[in-house]
């Protein structure tokens, strides 16, 4: 069965520093997509970045980059130059094509950016 693990319930980072949020996943399929979403206190899920299982390059979107290590089944999110507005819950999710169209989400990591 699909499973997403995020081992860091909470993380603190100083403003302007970089932070890595961990995500490991479990799937037996070769074709899947990995996503990161941000959920601020307002509740809305905001898409950040995507990595396909066949993508050879690590995905980057502005200050967000994804450290994809397929053999280790990890897809860590790196946020560079943290800003106070980055304080939120961060969810790693996977869409495994052979298991249908839904996403499986991890339990999330709460990131707090300190001034």
Partner 1 sequence: DTGVSQNPRHKITKRGQNVTFRCDPISEHNRLYWYRQTLGQGPEFLTYFQNEAQLEKSRLLSDRFSAERPKGSFSTLEIQRTEQGDSAMYLCASSLVDGESSYNEQFFGPGTRLTVL
Q: Which residues bind partner 1 (CB under 8 A)?
A: 4, 31-33, 35, 37, 42-47, 50, 52-53, 91, 93, 95-97, 100-108
Two structure tokens written together for 15: 């403003």
Query: What is the smallest separation between the CB atom of 15 and partner 1, expressed in angstroms?
Result: 25
Q: 50 or 64: whose CB is closer to partner 1? A: 50
Burial string for 85-115 (b: 16+ CB within 10 Å, else e) reads: ebbbbbbbbbbbeeeeeebbebebbebebee
Query: What is the smallest separation between the CB atom of 17 and partner 1, expressed in angstroms?
Result: 26
The DSSP 8-state label assigned to residue 42 in this structure reads T
CA-CA distances (angstroms) from residue 77 to 6, 22, 100?
11, 7, 24
What count of Cα atoms within 13 Å lies in the side-chain half-sphere of residue 11?
A: 24
Q: 93 or 113: whose CB is closer to partner 1? A: 93
Q: 14 or 102: whose CB is closer to partner 1? A: 102
Q: 82 or 90: whose CB is closer to partner 1? A: 90
């Amino acid at each position: 069965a699909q499973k997403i693990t995020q081992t860091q319930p909470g993380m603190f980072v100083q403003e302007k520093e970089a932070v890595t949020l961990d995500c490991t996943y479990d799937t037996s399929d070769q074709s899947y997509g990995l996503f990161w979403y941000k959920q601020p206190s307002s509740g809305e899920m905001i898409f950040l970045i995507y990595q396909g299982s066949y993508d050879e390059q690590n995905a980057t979107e502005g200050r967000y980059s994804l450290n994809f290590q397929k053999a280790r089944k990890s897809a860590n999110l790196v946020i560079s130059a943290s800003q106070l507005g980055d304080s939120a819950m961060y969810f790693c999710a996977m869409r495994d094509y052979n298991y249908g169209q839904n996403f499986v989400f991890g339990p999330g990591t709460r990131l707090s950016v300190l001034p």
